[in-house]
Amino acid sequence: DAKTTQPPSMDCAEGRAANLPCNHSTISGNEYVYWYRQIHSQGPQYIIHGLKNNETNEMASLIITEDRKSSTLILPHATLRDTAVYYCIVRVAGNTPLVFGKGTRLSVIA
């Protein structure tokens, strides 16, 4: 059963911020939010993860709402190489597997 809901596709102009939403209204207290992306048949690439605080790294920022029922992945300055399928995954704490849903196909347009 899908634990997350994402729009199937989004477009973003090159150089602009890409904001990818994710709904995870049934998230539990011990579940983290992970974001991965997959560029055309390559292995999925880790982007960022968080529990309840907002997180930022060199790739992106993760904004989690206070009630933890939704989050937004922000790519601050999208480039053509950011075109990929982005997966938002809710994962129980521990060594549990990542369960991929449908993801959002982001197209960055020049």
Partner 1 sequence: AAGVIQSPRHLIKEKRETATLKCYPIPRHDTVYWYQQGPGQDPQFLISFYEKMQSDKGSIPDRFSAQQFSDYHSELNMSSLELGDSALYFCASSPGPNTEAFFGQGTRLTVV
What's the CA gap between 84 and 3, in Å, rounded? Answer: 21
Nearer to partner 1, 13 or 57 (CB): 57
In angstroms, what CA-CA distances link 101 with 14, 37, 53, 79, 110? 26, 12, 23, 24, 28
User: Which position among 75, 87, 90, 104 is part of the footprint of partner 1 (CB under 8 A)?
Assistant: 87
User: Which position among 61, 102, 105, 107 is part of the footprint of partner 1 (CB under 8 A)?
Assistant: 102
Torsion angles phi and psi, residue 98, rounded to 5:
-80, 130
Site for partner 1 in 20-79 (CB under 8 A): 32, 34, 38, 41-46, 49
What's the CA gap between 25 and 75, in Å, rounded? Answer: 23
User: Which position among 14, 21, 63, 100 is part of the footprint of partner 1 (CB under 8 A)?
Assistant: 100
User: Which position among 25, 54, 65, 96 is part of the footprint of partner 1 (CB under 8 A)?
Assistant: 96
What's the CA gap between 110 and 94, in Å, rounded? Answer: 41
Output the smallest distance, CB 93 to partner 1, in A: 5
Residues that bind partner 1 (CB under 8 A): 32, 34, 38, 41-46, 49, 85, 87, 93-103
